[in-house]
Structure 1
């Protein structure tokens, strides 16, 4: 018998009406119960995660890193639930209000999107982040994770659903698609009768497949071809610390740096220093002809494809640029509109970079690794949107809401 997503869709739609009416105190109680469930059953989660890891042979180190859970990462997920519980509830907020010429009282109020579908790959933390943010914002959610994390995701959802059930909320608020085949993923993309929006999280290939094939409205989240530009007015020691952090702290994630642009005035003296520091962290370097001339044959000549590539690995491509204008042009051509940074002590240059770079997050003298819902104070994130409608950057509670107009009259008719 074929897997029927309409059953999940009907349950989610019914649940969404209940969730939209829940009081904030009740929602926070459920979120704290979810956090407690994760902590109490950490050993079970890790055991299921080990089953997934056994099947991960042959996958990249970056992929395995995203898949792996330990006690610290489970604790981070529990803390994320607690952070979301502490956040203000956006539902019911009045965005604006006025009286029109006919005497109608018009108010614009924040409401849930309804039913959200999420297609994602090997990061089990997405399961918990999505559950937390969708629930707090009054949305039902249908999750479809990758087959590589199926045991882990099923266990996490079971624990979270148990918290819902024990606190008197329908477990249909959070559902998971247990069939991880491409055919069923395509079904989810066509589920227009029940899904209000679909959010993909994962590789560029996954995201683009969803954008191309979905009939459900899609919020495109980001592949991260992130750049660091070291200006000739930069504090070079500070730049070194930022580069190492942005590339090496966790290279498998979308906000890690993938490209390094260096002004020609400092390239000859600075590139050997920063290259050695990166080699000490086992980073493979690729570069343009000028970079290769400075660093020698140890680095590969970067191809045109390299400038577009999101590596998610210990690989960095370097280009020497002649000016701030060239750096900005390069970023805007090859970047994925995710996160970009300039390192400079020149205020005017920093302001031009902030104004002219087209990205969801633009930094001055800081690592791109901070583009994250938790770091931005959202408790967690549903993803990092690289599009401009209707959300951009790390998406927290507000990004999972829309508005409706409430109009009160006393018998007005239109003439």
Structure 2
């Protein structure tokens, strides 16, 4: 068992990591080029997540630097109570112990998610996808160097080079204690982990996010939000998939035509219900199954809807429980929508692309949970803790 590292050591390791990422920047990008060349798949969002360029390295450096500046999430007093018998009782945050992060194609997870888990006092086990092995191993070498320089065991960050069978065996019968598993990836990965894991799993769920254009929407805002949420980063789980347009929207026809023409500039494939399909450039929605799908592609589905209540019901039926937005100038309608839509983040007149730890003030996130326990939405540093009771007495018995 590794004894909890002092906050000074944890911060020093993170700052050393920032220094090493800068120093090894060219090498990381070069090694990543090999991973990109070896990737034979045709999943454009997977390729996008696999790629490491200067901007990605900058983000990694910013993430560990910011983590080092944040308060220690471990040992924070949540509750205190003086018992009648004189005992002093405290409840404080505590680290989980060992956190296993299983992820696909994203070398930045090896820095950012591992950094959050490490700062919150946990030992890290990393199991990346085979497509990013070389990039990941290079980054883990840097973790080990940062740990060694600060007199800490390299066991704090361990990379598991397992194939699928070995991963399944490890999930079912771990060869070391694992307290929490965080899968970062598509629905198949999440289902695989849930099926085989023997300890708690934080589900970083799918997107399938909706924007509802209410009848009193500001159409310029609606257009701007939809285009941003759909096209800015198609591989993100906070990207937009579905648009519901109020049947009573003012200038509805003009708005739909403008929306189609803007989406076509980005080569977005547009699917529409019977009301929207009559516009040029729109394909028919073949089945209701489409409404359940997260596209992670330049693809969108648009339908007309009768009211805010109908929009809420549709979103609650089909969405992934991640993010949804209402575009309206009517505050009361926005309030009803936001209180009743069952997603981790709800927006009024803003893009779903903000469901992100950095954007929502957490500094970064380990995952974006669509579970309701123990934290929903972006899981930041302060959420990656459990708690413990500290009771001080002088001989009290019950």
TM-score (norm 2): 0.96
Partner residue, 2:36: 53
**Which deviations, in whole Å up to 9, do the C-alpha atoms of 1:176-210 show, x marking residues without a partner?**
1123x111211232245500011111001111121
CA contact (8 A) 1:287 1:302 kept: no
| Segment of structure 1 superposing worse, 170-179 or 181-190 | 181-190
Deviation at residue 410 of structure 1 after TM alignment: 2.2
2:274, 2:284 within 8 Å by CA — same for their partners in 1? no
1:64 alignment partner in structure 2: 47
Task: Indicate the SS of the match to 2:277.
Answer: helix
Deviations 1:118-146 (A, max 9, x none): 11101111111122101110001101010
**C-alpha separation between the residues in 2 aligned to 1:290 and 1:202?**
35
3-state SS of the aligned residue for 2:11?
Answer: helix
Which residue matches 2:78? 95
Q: Which has the higher helix share?
A: 1
List aligned pairs for 1:269-348, cutoff 5 A. 269-293=254-278, 295-296=279-280, 298-348=282-332
User: Which is further off, 369-378 or 70-79?
Assistant: 369-378
How far did residue 298 of structure 1 move? 3.6
Q: CA deviation at 1:297?
A: 6.2
Deviation (angstroms), 1:296: 4.1
- Alignment gaps of 5+ in structure 2: none
Q: What's the secondary structure of 1:282's corresponding residue? A: coil
Map of 2:377 onto structure 1: 393
Aligned to 1:177: 160
Quote the Cα distance in structure 2 between the aligned partners of 1:358 and 1:171: 42
Q: Deviations over 1:358-398 (max 9, x none)?
A: 11111111111111111122222111010011121101112
1:23 Cα shift? 2.7
Kept in 2, the 8 Å contact 1:302–1:317? The answer is: no
Find the aligned partners of 1:82 and 1:208 in 2 and give their Cα distance.
33
How far apart, CA to CA, are the structure 2 residues paired with 1:231 and 1:374?
29
Tell me which residue corresponds to 2:136.
153
TM-score by length of 1: 0.92
Q: Is residue 283–residue 316 contact of structure 1 (8 Å, CA) maintained in 2?
A: yes
Instruction: Name the count of aligned residue pairs.
Output: 395
- The alignment status of 1:119 with 2:102, answered yes or no, reads yes
1:188 counterpart = 2:170: yes
Q: In structure 2, how many angstroms separate the alpha carbons of the residues matched to 1:30 and 1:154?
A: 18
Asked whether the 8 Å contact 1:105–1:409 carries over to 2, the reply is yes
Q: How does 1:17-96 map to 2 (within 5 A)?
A: 18=3, 20=4, 22-96=5-79
Q: Is the 8 A contact 1:116 1:141 kept in 2?
A: yes
CA contact (8 A) 2:272 2:282 kept: no
Provide the C-alpha distance between the structure 2 equivalents of 1:236 and 1:344, rounded to a whole number of angstroms.
9
**Residues 196-215 of structure 1 aligned to structure 2 (within 5 Å):** 196-215=179-198
Q: Secondary structure at the match of 1:110?
A: strand
Q: What CA distance in whole angstroms lies between the structure 1 residues aligned with 2:286 and 2:319?
A: 16
- Against the structure 1 CA distance between its residues 129 and 92, is the aligned structure 2 distance closer, same or farther, given a 3 Å change threshold? same
Distance in 1 separating the partners of 2:316 and 2:86: 48
2:68 counterpart SS class: helix
What displacement does 1:104 show? Answer: 2.3
Q: Which residue of 2 aligns with 1:409?
A: 393
